Amino acid sequence: MSALRQQRKSDVLMELAKRRGIFWPSYEIYGGVRGLLTLGNVGFEIKRRLENLWIKYFVYSRNFQIIESPVIGPRPVYVASGHETQFTDKALKCGKCGAVFRADHLLSEAGVTIPEGASLQEIDEIVSINSVKCPNCKGDFSKAFHWLLMFKTEIGAGSGEIGYLRPETAQGIFTEFKRLYVHGRSSLPMGVAQVGRVFRNEVSPRQGPIRLREFTIMEVEFFFDPDSNPGPSEEDYLKHEIPVLTAEDQEKGVTGFRKMRVKEGVETGLFSSNWIPFFLVLTKSFLKALKIPEDAFRFREKLPSERAHYAKQLFDCEVLLESWGWTEVAGFAYRTDYDLSGHMKVSGEDMNVFISSSGRRIVPHVVEPSFGAERLLYALLEHNLRIEEDGRICLSTPPYLSPFDVSVFPLLSKPDFVRKAAEVARMLGDFKVNFDDSGSIGRRYARSDEIGIPFAVTIDHQTFSDDSVTLRFRDTREQRRIGIGSLHAELSKLLSAPKPDV
Ligand SMILES: [Zn+2]
């Protein structure tokens, strides 16, 4: 057995990520900054395709709007949203060396359990009873405090106007609600999506590509009338089975998850809004398109003490990862009318809409599916990384989520082979082609497999007599003879992405 096969998959992946331009820690020449990541040529493209697939599933398939709002927001936005006071972590600062730690992480590493949602005072007591000291210098901690997770900045010169970098894209949708509602033909339900960078000033992230201070979020704010559109009108989603870990099960000490038909969850009142299970089913379908195995993801209902301040109910989609266990890749929050009402109060703008069928004026309610793109990218890579018997690495990502569509190789690096290969590559111009004529053909196949290019076209001796090439399949290494004239149509078919199940 090769040495590589004895290593952990996550270690192989981290090494591959640096070596082949998927991702790596940023600013290494200055010692690096935790929680910041640079995507290379390969990682950028896989992530872009992942985002496009998400847009296809969560925006186009439902006829939602998609917008782009600023990354910077003025302070009143985040006063209204509650983030300025609520979006915090409890932290401890060493009185001697000044190091700051997230209280829950520090205490669990010191072997001390703290109750979910412990107050600052309770944390101080736990620290003192267990005489927890600074792991760096053994110094004593000063009082626990709230650490604001938003990056603060100033807007303009001399004005002193405080701004924040957005911690979610949602507020850029809520603040524009009145205009978006008109664009959506003034009717509910209405979905508005956004894909963009968000910023969270984590105290001391130590989970590599999983806990980032700047990352891409893909989210939908789905507005509805809880009285006239309490759930989807089509009932297709009810028959689907989803892997669920409920809050009630967790309180009984259950771990893992169980498969539940959505209908059962709806009938037993598990969901505070039926739009939540609808988006869970859509997510299951999306994860299937990412080739995340069915036993490696679940929807965990968050305990009341774990919920974000705006959420009446919250489910996380968690994917099982080798190094980090069950890891949140998406959240599904029932935000009620919390945000629109908050902005109505602080801005003075009326966010009510008129429901003509019932003659009522209401502030719409919101269910929000929200996905972390980098975490999904990591989960996609880890679950699709294969180490072959002979020690070769094969990134077996679905063809539509590959960094290139196809490799084009001349069998030999002779001028007539290279010329013909370049001609075929040009003919495939609307695909993303990896043209490689360096080194042996075996090495070129290996490099192509490592970054997950699903197909390789090779120009060989026979090409010159009958205008055919070999089409090689990454996952099976099968080679098929195909006429150059049929190549374009064949690749289009092989590269097409599936459609959502709901
Ligand atoms: Zn210290």
Enter the tokens of residue 81. Answer: 């949203």
Q: How many angstroms does the Cα of residue 116 sit away from the middle of ligand 1?
A: 25
Interval 144-188: pLDDT, tens: 999 999 999 999 987 789 999 999 999 999 999 999 999 999 999
In order of their start, the domains of the chain are 3-70+170-385 (3.30.930.10), 88-148 (3.30.40.230), 404-494 (3.40.50.800)
Q: How many angstroms does the Cα of residue 109 sit away from the middle of ligand 1?
A: 15
Interval 442-467: pLDDT, tens: 999 999 999 999 999 999 999 999 99
Report residues near ion ligand 1: CB below 5 Å: 94, 96-97, 99, 134, 136-137, 139
Cis peptide before 189 (omega within 30 of 0): yes
Q: How many angstroms does the Cα of residue 152 sit away from the middle of ligand 1?
A: 26
Three-state SS for 50? helix
Buried b (16+ CB within 10 A) or exposed e, 266-275: beeebbebbb
Pairwise CA distance, residues 487 & 480, whole Å: 11
**Closest of 237, 254, 236 to residue 245, by C-alpha:** 254
**Closest of 490, 495, 289 to residue 405, by C-alpha:** 495
Q: How many angstroms does the Cα of residue 34 sit away from the middle of ligand 1?
A: 19
Q: Which residue has the tokens 């069998």?
A: 411
Q: How many angstroms does the Cα of residue 481 sit away from the middle of ligand 1?
A: 66
Q: How many angstroms does the Cα of residue 447 sit away from the middle of ligand 1?
A: 46
Q: How many angstroms does the Cα of residue 31 sit away from the middle of ligand 1?
A: 21
Task: Provide the 10 A C-beta neighbour count for residue 135.
Answer: 13
Question: If DSSP states are collapsed to H, E and C, what string results for 74-86?
Answer: EHHHHHHCCHHHH
Q: How many angstroms does the Cα of residue 139 sit away from the middle of ligand 1?
A: 5
Q: How many angstroms does the Cα of residue 94 sit away from the middle of ligand 1?
A: 5
Three-state SS for 278? helix
HSE (side-chain half, CA atoms, 13 Å) at 377: 30
Q: How many angstroms does the Cα of residue 325 sit away from the middle of ligand 1?
A: 29
Q: How many angstroms does the Cα of residue 135 sit away from the middle of ligand 1?
A: 7
Pairwise CA distance, residues 296 & 321, whole Å: 8
Q: How many angstroms does the Cα of residue 107 sit away from the middle of ligand 1?
A: 15
Interval 234-278: pLDDT, tens: 899 999 999 999 999 999 999 899 999 999 999 999 999 999 999
Q: How many angstroms does the Cα of residue 97 sit away from the middle of ligand 1?
A: 4
Q: How many angstroms does the Cα of residue 127 sit away from the middle of ligand 1?
A: 14
pTM over 0.75: yes
Q: How many angstroms does the Cα of residue 133 sit away from the middle of ligand 1?
A: 8
The DSSP line for 219-243 is EEEEEE-TTT-SS-SS-GGGG-EEE
Enter the tokens of residue 250. Answer: 């967790």
Three-state SS for 180? helix
Q: How many angstroms does the Cα of residue 128 sit away from the middle of ligand 1?
A: 16
Residue 38 bridge partners (DSSP):
24
Q: How many angstroms does the Cα of residue 131 sit away from the middle of ligand 1?
A: 14
Q: How many angstroms does the Cα of residue 100 sit away from the middle of ligand 1?
A: 8
pLDDT > 70 in the chain, percent: 100
Q: How many angstroms does the Cα of residue 103 sit away from the middle of ligand 1?
A: 14
Among 3-17, 23-37, 141-155, 238-252, which is the least confidently predicted range? 3-17
Q: How many angstroms does the Cα of residue 111 sit away from the middle of ligand 1?
A: 18
Do residues 225 and 362 lie in contact, with contact meaning Cβ atoms separated by under 8 Å?
Answer: yes
- Residues 38-62 have a mean pLDDT of 98
Q: How many angstroms does the Cα of residue 214 sit away from the middle of ligand 1?
A: 27
To which H or E segment does residue 202 belong?
none
**Closest of 153, 149, 194 to residue 167, by C-alpha:** 149
Task: Provide the 10 A C-beta neighbour count for residue 481.
Answer: 11
Looking at residue 419, its pLDDT comes to 97
Looking at residue 205, its pLDDT comes to 87
Looking at residue 101, its pLDDT comes to 93
Average pLDDT over all residues of the chain: 95
Q: How many angstroms does the Cα of residue 33 sit away from the middle of ligand 1?
A: 20
Pairwise CA distance, residues 362 & 356, whole Å: 11
Q: How many angstroms does the Cα of residue 93 sit away from the middle of ligand 1?
A: 8
Q: Which residue has the tokens 């009326």?
A: 350
Between the CA of residue 234 and those of 75, 238, 313, 436, what are the distances in Å? 41, 9, 23, 49
Interval 413-428: pLDDT, tens: 999 999 999 999 999 9
Q: How many angstroms does the Cα of residue 202 sit away from the middle of ligand 1?
A: 19
CA 144 to chain centre: 31
Residue 70 pLDDT exceeds 80? yes
Q: How many angstroms does the Cα of residue 136 sit away from the middle of ligand 1?
A: 5
Residue 393 pLDDT exceeds 80? yes
User: Residue 21: left if φ>0, alpha if ψ -120 to 50, beta else—which one?
Assistant: left
Q: How many angstroms does the Cα of residue 83 sit away from the middle of ligand 1?
A: 29
501 burial via Cβ count (<10 Å: 0-12, 13-18, 19+): middle
| Residue 2 pLDDT grade (very low, low, confident, very high; cuts 50, 70, 90) | low
Q: How many angstroms does the Cα of residue 138 sit away from the middle of ligand 1?
A: 6
Between the CA of residue 471 and those of 84, 449, 452, what are the distances in Å? 56, 14, 15
Q: How many angstroms does the Cα of residue 29 sit away from the middle of ligand 1?
A: 26
Q: How many angstroms does the Cα of residue 106 sit away from the middle of ligand 1?
A: 12
DSSP 35: T
Based on C-alpha coordinates, what's the Rg of the chain?
Answer: 26
Question: If DSSP states are collapsed to H, E and C, what string results for 113-136?
Answer: CCCCCCCHHHHHHHHHHCCCCCCC
User: Can you give the length of the chain in residues?
Assistant: 502
Residue 4 pLDDT exceeds 90? no
44 burial via Cβ count (<10 Å: 0-12, 13-18, 19+): middle
To which H or E segment does residue 331 belong?
strand 325-336
Do residues 222 and 191 lie in contact, with contact meaning Cβ atoms separated by under 8 Å?
Answer: yes
CA angle 338, 343, 346 (to 5 degrees): 120
